[in-house]
Amino acid sequence: MKTMTGTLELAVKQRDNRTVPGHIFYQGALKVMRPQYLDDSGQVTYFVLNPGGGYLDGDRYSLTIDVGPEASLYLTTQSATKVYQTPKDHVYQLNQIAVKAKGEFINLPDPIIPYEKSIYQQEQLVYLAADARYFASEIVTPGWDSAERGFTYRKVNLLTKIYLDNRLAVMDRVLLQPDCQNLAGAGMLEGFKKIASLLVVHPEIDQEYISQLHQELTTVFPALHFGLSLLPINGYSLRVLGNDTQEIESVIQACYQNYNQTFCKKKLQLTRKY
């Protein structure tokens, strides 16, 4: 097995109405900052860091997350995931996530930015208890190039599998290959350059909740190009297309605000990363 460029293992547990660290291990080009508490809900927040500044040719990363019963973890990144040229071998990241009974995992990373001639592959395996909660987004925005062509990366492959009580319930994939796909065409990115995906699972999400969220997004973002679908389990999938990263991030934040106010009865606390 190829040596990992970066490894991070993070386990949290609930103690005295507060989520606290259980196990933390990291080596190589992945680290986490000290735990932070942004409000009085007891939810713990961690920032993932890549000291190397970006992903390089042939890099391999492993991220393992374990959220104990009734614990709540908010995970984000310090900066965008920059994937530079990969002339010989692709970049691969494996995320393995387990959320136990009544646990909650919120994952809102900064965008993935694939640069010219790069290949990035990510596999995400999510194991949820029947009453666990999961909220995770991904944003892909192409890296800058002098000719402003937009799609100079070679491939971005994001695969997520969600298991509910150890049974595969959801499989979601974003596959972008500019060399053999007309990404700007109909049925793909429809003339846009950036795409966001959001997967949310909560025992109380149903069609009525989806309809209300759809109405809210349509009202707040009237020019937004998005698709919102109920999953085969209690949850939803959202796809957003656009050219403005900040607007796309605002949509994800609006969904999280709605999630918090509906199920957690608390206001969203924004984090500063600079």
Phi/psi for 225 (5° steps) reads: -105, 110
Strand order of the β-sheet with 6-15 is: 18-28, 6-15, 60-67, 91-99, 119-128, 155-164, 167-176
Q: Is residue 190 part of a domain?
A: yes
- According to the model, what pLDDT value does residue 274 have? 45
101: which DSSP letter?
T
3-state secondary structure of 212: helix
Alpha-carbon torsion, ordered 96, 271, 174, 135, to 10 deg: 60
3-state secondary structure of 171: strand
Residues 183 and 156: their CA atoms lie apart, in Å, by 12
Q: Is residue 233 part of a domain?
A: yes
pLDDT tens per residue across span 83-120: 999 999 999 999 999 999 999 999 999 999 999 999 99
Q: Is residue 272 part of a domain?
A: no
- According to the model, what pLDDT value does residue 144 have? 75
Number of domains in the chain: 1
Q: Is residue 157 part of a domain?
A: yes
Q: Is residue 37 part of a domain?
A: yes
Residues 266 and 262: their CA atoms lie apart, in Å, by 8
Token pair in block for residue 224: 């937004």
Q: Are 87 and 122 in contact (CB under 8 A)?
A: no
Q: Is residue 88 part of a domain?
A: yes
Residues 118 and 90: their CA atoms lie apart, in Å, by 7
- According to the model, what pLDDT value does residue 267 have? 53
Q: Is residue 274 part of a domain?
A: no
Residues 114 and 154: their CA atoms lie apart, in Å, by 9
Q: Are 44 and 72 in contact (CB under 8 A)?
A: yes
Residues 221 and 226: their CA atoms lie apart, in Å, by 10
Q: Is residue 207 part of a domain?
A: yes
Domain around 251 = 6-264
Which parts of the chain register pLDDT below 70? 1, 146-150, 184-187, 265-274
3-state secondary structure of 168: strand
145: which DSSP letter?
-
Q: What radius of gyration do the chain's Cα atoms show?
A: 18
The CA-based diameter of the chain, rounded to the nearest angstrom, is: 56
